Amino acid sequence: MDYKVEAIDEHTWMIEEYDEAVSCYMYLLEGSEKALLIDTGMGQIPLGEIVEGLTKLPVEVLNTHAHIDHIGGNSLFEKVYLHEKEREVYRLHSGGFHNYFPQYAYHAARDNIIWYTGEPEMDLGGRCLQILLTPGHSEGSVCILDKERKWLFSGDTCCKAAVLLALDFSETVAVYRQSLQKLLEYKDDYVLTWPGHHSVPVVPEIIEQFRDAADLLLAGKERGENQKTQFGESLLFRYKDIMIDYREDRLR
């Protein structure tokens, strides 16, 4: 896999890991005392060396969730934060899920995970981040709010594409809708979102599109089209700039 690095501002970088099959964004946020790396991609690039070339501060990792394309480089770092509700997802995606992407060589998992609960704040030194629990794509998915810069790092919760709610350990459309409403309650605190995939940055109106689409599905006014993917059968509902990939038995 290849990679490229883009400076978002003087103390924030976006690292993209990509090939013809996968593209993942990671974000390095620097404070005055330490730096935080949001997600570690598939683990197919020299991520440790890349990060060391960007900051000389101690680096900790926060995973937005525990899917394989967000935890692949975790073992390259000493301290990785994951929400407690991601334990089973992490167990699956750090082992058996590798079969879905046999073209890659994976790092062995290490005992470096710090499991946390709730919605703690992280202080990087003059740069405070708020973690928001947003179940949907997975049970313990989180978004990270950087209020000073008015940015929301959203993982896979609201990319400008499809949200996958049909995977093992995904939540229902109803639970996902609650998470969207929660993010909209903070809408005065961010003007851009930085997701884990697809277009970047994304305007917050995308979150409203996901909410409106979820409302239509929950009210029975719309239904997705049947589809088969590498992960099984599901329904795909297309709405404006986004899509919701879900299962009929996971509406409520």
CATH 3.60.15.10 for domain 2-250, yes or no, is yes
Mean pLDDT computed over 96-113: 92
Helix (H, G, I), strand (E, B) or coil at 51: helix
CB atoms within 10 A of CB 235: 19
The DSSP element (H or E) to which 9 belongs, if any, is strand 2-9
**pLDDT at residue 96 is higher than 90:** no
Q: Where in the chain are the domains?
A: 2-250
Phi-psi region for residue 221, left (φ > 0), alpha (ψ -120 to 50) or beta?
alpha
Q: What is the value of pTM for the model shown?
A: 0.97
* Sequence-ordered list of residues with C-beta below 8 angstroms from that of 200, at least 6 positions apart, any chain: 14, 25, 194
The predicted-structure confidence for 120-137, as pLDDT tens digits, reads as follows: 999 999 999 999 999 999
pLDDT tens digits along 134-176: 999 999 999 999 999 999 999 999 999 999 999 999 999 999 9
Contacts of residue 122, defined as CB under 8 A and 6 or more positions apart, other chains included, come to 36, 62, 128, 129, 131
CA atoms of 64 and 74, how far apart (whole Å): 12
Distance CA 176, CA 16 (A): 26
Please tell me the predicted confidence (pLDDT) of residue 15: 98
